[in-house]
Amino acid sequence: MRAAVSIGLPGTTGAQTLRALAPRLEALGFDGLWLNDVPGGDSLAGLREVAEVTTTLRLATGVIPLDRRPVEGLDLDGIPARRTTFGIGSGGASHAVAAVRDGIAALRARTDASIAVGALGPRMRRLAAEEADEVVLNWLTPTAAADAMADLRRDAGTRADDVRGVLYVRTIADGAARAALQKEADRYESYVSYAANFRRLGVHAIDATMDRAGTLAAYDVVDEVVLRAITAGGTLDELERFAEATAAWRASVG
């Protein structure tokens, strides 16, 4: 089974860039556009911009931290539920699993859109398997992703066919972006939870990134791969070239 292939961008990406880039992503055949919800950016506002200029491209947030943005305060207007996935995560919540469980229930009451849960550890993955529509995995090698998917299918039980596994992979398509990719990897290795996970897996963050077409097929173990675009400067021109290059990768693996 070939994984769906989408593009991921930070939620700080400007409206003008999103409106110019999103139709191109749709035309190139990408399955969706995921916007990270980060301080200083609003993934939901970005999705509204994308929704206005596309018709089939899936829209997704990856992921909204509930400690910073509770479900009750989210503005979901103008985002078509039929092609949207709202990704949520615990952020810095003290009772992480309980907070996300409550968040899933609150979102179910407000929207018919798919709900994804950002999950690093087994308890959160189990919650996603049992109650969400998708799980968002992050910083995993193909081998680790395959193991995570096996756990997901086991934990989902009779829901195994109804819960999708989505994996974010930091990706470059231009050698000029290599320093930016290494900086991103180093940043995540500085986070306690991620550092512990890398030690457990016996890898470095840079080992879970992508820089060439041949690696893409190795991620067919998940349902969807989100190529989190890393470029030297984050300009529209760079992102357009990234999209063209990775679309060619996608075509090369069938």
For residue 242, pLDDT beyond 70: yes
> pTM, whole model, 2 decimals?
0.97
Residue 109's domain is classified under what CATH number? Answer: 3.20.20.30
Q: Which residue segment(s) compose the domain that 36 sits in? A: 4-252
**Three-state SS across 207-246?**
HHCECCHHHHHHHCCCCEEEEEECCCCCCHHHHHHHHHHH
Angle among Cα 164, 9, 34 to the nearest 5 degrees reads: 25
The mean predicted confidence, pLDDT, of the chain is: 96
User: Tell me, what DSSP letter sits at residue 232?
Assistant: S
Q: What is the pLDDT of residues 109-158, one digit of tens each?
A: 999 999 999 999 899 999 999 999 999 999 999 999 999 999 999 999 99
For residue 1, pLDDT beyond 70: no
Specify the higher pLDDT residue, 215 or 143: 143
Structural domains in the chain (count): 1
At 213 the pLDDT is: 81
The helix (H) or strand (E) run that includes residue 168 is: strand 164-171
Backbone angles phi, psi at 85, to 5 degrees: -120, 120
Say how far apart CA 38 and CA 27 lie, in whole Å.
27
What's the mean pLDDT in 27-51?
Answer: 96
Contact 7, 243 (CB under 8 A): yes
At 253 the pLDDT is: 75
Say how far apart CA 57 and CA 69 lie, in whole Å.
25
At 254 the pLDDT is: 66
At 18 the pLDDT is: 98
At 157 the pLDDT is: 94
